[in-house]
Amino acid sequence: MSVYDFKVKAQDGSEVSLADYRGKVLLIVNTATGCGFTPQYDELQDLYEEHQKDGLEILDFPCNQFAEQAPGSDEEIHSFCTGRFGITFPQFSKIDVLGENADPLFRYLSENTKFEGFHAGPMGLILGSAVKKMDKDYKNNGNVKWNFTKFLINREGEIVARFEPTENMKKVKAKVEEAL
């Protein structure tokens, strides 16, 4: 099984096969518009502009499960992201990444990666404390912990890396460039 076996919903509700991205390097991200990590949209857009021509696609999946930080409609979220951050990479319909209603793609990504911890620093400490309240066993499962968790997929559709939201974007960029 690979990510190419999954179908996701576009903003307009139509079904999109991830097989359409076969041969590309994918960075799959769950996002939110009202999160402390929302400024990462700037860095993601810069990465996309630099490497789309090389075969990179960033797939953005808004999620409102973490402190209700993506409360708007798909249209409102998209308007915010294009207006404020100028994003041009594909943005899909809002989804759940946890629980019984978790999107099958994110269930697959979570079940096939490990949580390696939050990057050291104040945000890592704050996030660790918040996540522990939601999931006492958070350190021992692969569930998505917060907004802006990123999964790097190689050209064969295999997961090659997972980045927590506190990970330095320079490290994310280096791994993307390695996959390209």
Q: What does the block give as tokens for 29?
A: 């991200």
Query: Is there a catalytic annotation at residue 63?
Result: no
Separation between Cα atoms, residue 88 and residue 58, nearest integer Å: 9
Could you tell me which residues come within 8 angstroms of residue 13 by beta carbon, excluding any fewer than 6 positions away?
A: 93
Q: How far is CA 95 from CA 87, 98, 139, in A?
A: 19, 9, 23
Per-residue b or e along 142-168, where b marks 16 or more CB atoms closer than 10 Å to that residue's CB = ebbbbbbbbbbbbeebebbbbbbbbbe
Helix/strand/coil for 137: coil
Assess contact for 9 and 93: CB atoms under 8 A. yes
Task: Choose, from 18, 25, 32, 35, the residue flagged as catalytic.
Answer: 35
Map tokens 């590309």 to a residue: 24
- Cα of first residue to Cα of last residue in the chain, in angstroms, is 21
Q: What does the block give as tokens for 150?
A: 């990123």
Residues assigned a catalytic role: 35
